[in-house]
Structure 1
């Protein structure tokens, strides 16, 4: 029998809840993908490049035009200089980029700090390469960072700190002061930062995304990961990107070339054309804020206690006024009996911490959200 490298890992909660939703004909607000159409302009560009024989391997680094546009974007938005040749790489999804950063940096017995609730990719990938996860829980219910605890948890074994901003699942975003705290703390260590910023253009109420690209003094220690899937409602295309200082990128590319090597060619050309109009991503926050507000207004008449949502297309709510069940059991009951699928927050904690909170995805058609709200108001 094969000896498992991840003996404690089973099917992800996202697959479990989506399968349960399908089996019970429930509205799927669990898995984070839109159910509305991608802009026809982007689809037309994809069709064009597919039929014009842009179907062979792309360069390992990614299509040049796309990397140039990303370089210009980070310069304009964050006053950050990333050379398109040596410091930007297109990847087969943000997850592949995250996996490769960890494979590049982490050796057996290295410590990696993650903030929980955390995206479920981080921990098993660290463990695959022999690293040890050091979790720090964000302070419930505001999901803020205890920077004193961070200082205490950093040791001479700390190789990497993974930060998801805006945070999935909590919807929390970092402030400018938070970034300054990170800069001060990290500058006194030898640790690297992996900034998972896939929801950078989904922030609300006029609050600005604070990218780690702004921290020029730490550029030689920071990897920044982004996602075109989140940006343009094309999660199934699996196109992401990474930015890093040239020496970091040099090492990243050594792993990247033996993993996927290159990424789907016509998609890159299509996205590059689409990105020539910055409005396609600069107004994404307005689009999703309307959906967030619709969902908040609908939940206001229920017994759910809505937790603050500053970014991402996820909203969390405490259900303790409705049920005493564990969050896992409540989420399953909600799917089976009430036909709305969600994600229990305990799935985002190493020790399965349960504050009786579930996560809703509101990246859905308005009619989908309204149908779900109709069911939820009957609880």
Structure 2
């Protein structure tokens, strides 16, 4: 993300950018250059006792393009700031069009926000952040409409192939964390670090909103995104750590009426989101589980909406990658829950952690029900 910010510097001249890119390419070509996801494929030890990978999987792994920690910065060489739509967004509070016309890839749009913040343009970063959130809202509404037309068929099948291959939580560019920090920084009016509700600048669709409520909304959207578990121990561990980091930031927010309303609204949307939401009725078999996220939602919602909190937490208790594979395990022991999935590629290195989070969620619900 650091190098992406450097490449996206609005002040960077073409000659300077060219020099940086040459240097990045030189580093990128080194054999010892760290990989972006830390996944060295066949070099990883088989620590989960899963069955050996077959030849086709090994060849697929080896044929994938090599992505280093500098790859995204190099890919960003074509990005610029001259787009008229982008300029209208960052130069005016009145221009409220979503950012999707300019940037369809959410992490890249968020990298622009990060670059603006890093190079001394906090107001412009804030305007672009609001535009990105408007885009995410539109996307969420469109996905709800799509699901309404597919709901009957999906519920009958009980499975879906719809998924996001690139999750926002644990992403190298940390898009959700970037948006959250940009919004909460605008709410720190004093040196004491206390967060206050600051109304979103005039011209936005809902003038009653605050940057603080937007921060909560985008964090919930990001963590509730249905996405496939990435490959490799490093990438999977990063998903867990990034989720915990975002949750710790959310827990710093004092839940007043406005934030509770935002929480309730987004939780309902996540429950109704179908395969596009990690809390939808039907999700992809290899989706990242929602246990840790749901534990926070349950505790936050319980004093305000017990029915919604239990509905959400019970929905999140599932672990499809195990539930759908038990038939492939030891059928002579029907209650035996396998701790690995032999046919799974890539392997779930963090499965033990995920199962412990599932237990914690169950324990939290049982304790609250006493």
Question: Which structure shows the bigger proportion of residues in helix conformation?
Answer: 2
Q: Which has the higher contact order (CA 8 A, sep 6+)?
A: 1
Question: Which structure shows the bigger proportion of residues in strand conformation?
Answer: 1
Bigger-Rg structure (1/2): 2
